């Protein structure tokens, strides 16, 4: 991961600040940085958004192809993720440098938006024969901490804004299906993504917990724990990251912090998708 290089004294200054509930940029421990989202900025995709979380910038775009469903899940479509940690975000990502962090993000997104949490049957066109294969492609343009939450939120927003053409299905006597676009081009299919979880990462810095860490905070973080909360407040995904260890008792207070943040993210999401403009931002 791209890292801020801090001296020992800068780290101590940061740690002492966090202990007194004061972060370098003046936020409280449970504050997110301002989030801004712009929709439909990639013309060649079915739905796209650019999410700016503080100085972290990601672009997510949904592309779709018609595919044959897997034999074991004939009534389900497919959903794949691809993350490009572009060299624009940090020179270390040049060449194959960004692949490790990219595959970490892909793993988390795949688990967070797995078939248990996302209804893949809505991507089915003809059971056993044709389905939509969605690709959510993410480009990381600027990396300034908390990539997981940014990528997860951008994915959910891009999926919610995705519009697919309605298809006309004709089947002949031999069981062959023929697929064509519906006559009315304005007829589109929207996905139901309401129940997709929001990711909230909580960092343990010293003995305190902060959400939405920036690069400097990530360089002193020993443990990061990530939760996926759905719209009803259930935990759908958990993962622990980093080389430190965690006392099981502290988990409950972390869950409380994360849950409060997930409510704020949910609020942001609801406001963002209901806006008629192509952009929305929270302060």
Pairing mode of beta strands 198-205, 188-190:
unpaired
Measured CA to CA in angstroms, residue 158 lies from 89, 174, 188, 272 at distances of: 21, 39, 16, 11
Interface residue with another protein among 1, 6, 15, 87 (CB under 8 A) is 87
Residue 140 CB, nearest approach to another protein (Å): 10
Measured CA to CA in angstroms, residue 144 lies from 5, 180, 262 at distances of: 13, 44, 20
- Binding part of the chain for another protein, among 26-34, 81-89, 118-126, 245-253 by CB under 8 A, reads 81-89
Interface residue with another protein among 3, 21, 25, 65 (CB under 8 A) is 65
The structure tokens listed for 70 are 């897997």
Could you tell me the maximum CA-CA distance found in the chain, to the nearest angstrom?
77
The enclosing H or E element of 204 equals strand 198-205
Rule CB under 8 A: is residue 281 a binding residue for another protein?
Answer: no
Residue 57 CB, nearest approach to another protein (Å): 7
Rule CB under 8 A: is residue 91 a binding residue for another protein?
Answer: yes
User: Closest CB to another protein among 94 and 278?
Assistant: 94
Q: How many residues does the chain have?
A: 283
Measured CA to CA in angstroms, residue 122 lies from 119, 154, 158, 231 at distances of: 6, 20, 16, 19
Interface residue with another protein among 135, 189, 235, 241 (CB under 8 A) is 135
* Binding track over 15-44 against another protein, x by CB under 8 A: ---------------------------xxx
State the residues that interact with another protein by CB under 8 A. Answer: 42-45, 48, 55, 57, 59, 61, 63, 65, 82, 84, 86-91, 94-96, 135, 137, 139, 141-144
């Amino acid at each position: 991961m791209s890292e801020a290089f801090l001296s020992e004294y800068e780290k101590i200054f940061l740690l002492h600040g966090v202990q007194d509930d004061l972060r370098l940029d003046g936020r409280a421990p449970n504050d997110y940085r301002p989030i801004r989202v712009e929709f439909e900025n990639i013309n060649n995709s079915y739905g796209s958004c650019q999410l700016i979380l503080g100085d972290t910038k990601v672009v997510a775009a949904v592309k779709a192809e018609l595919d044959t469903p897997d034999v074991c899940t004939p009534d389900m479509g497919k959903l794949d993720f691809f993350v490009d940690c572009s060299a624009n975000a940090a020179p270390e990502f040049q060449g194959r440098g960004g692949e490790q962090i990219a595959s970490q993000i892909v793993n988390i997104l795949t688990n967070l938006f797995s078939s248990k949490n996302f209804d893949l049957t809505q991507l089915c066109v003809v059971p056993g024969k044709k389905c939509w294969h969605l690709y959510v492609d993410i480009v990381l343009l600027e990396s300034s901490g908390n990539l997981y939450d940014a990528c997860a939120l951008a994915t959910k927003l891009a999926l919610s804004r995705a519009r697919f053409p309605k298809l006309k299905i004709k089947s002949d006597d031999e069981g062959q299906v023929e697929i064509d676009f519906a006559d009315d081009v304005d007829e589109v299919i929207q996905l139901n993504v309401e129940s997709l979880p929001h990711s909230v990462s909580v960092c343990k810095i010293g003995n305190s917990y902060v959400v939405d860490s920036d690069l400097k905070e990530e360089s002193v973080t020993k443990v990061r724990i990530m939760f996926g909360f759905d719209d009803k407040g259930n935990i759908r995904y958990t993962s622990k990251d980093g080389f430190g260890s965690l006392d099981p008792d502290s988990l409950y207070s972390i869950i409380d912090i994360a849950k409060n943040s997930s409510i704020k993210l949910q609020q942001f999401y609801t406001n963002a998708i209901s806006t008629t403009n192509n952009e929305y931002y929270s302060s």
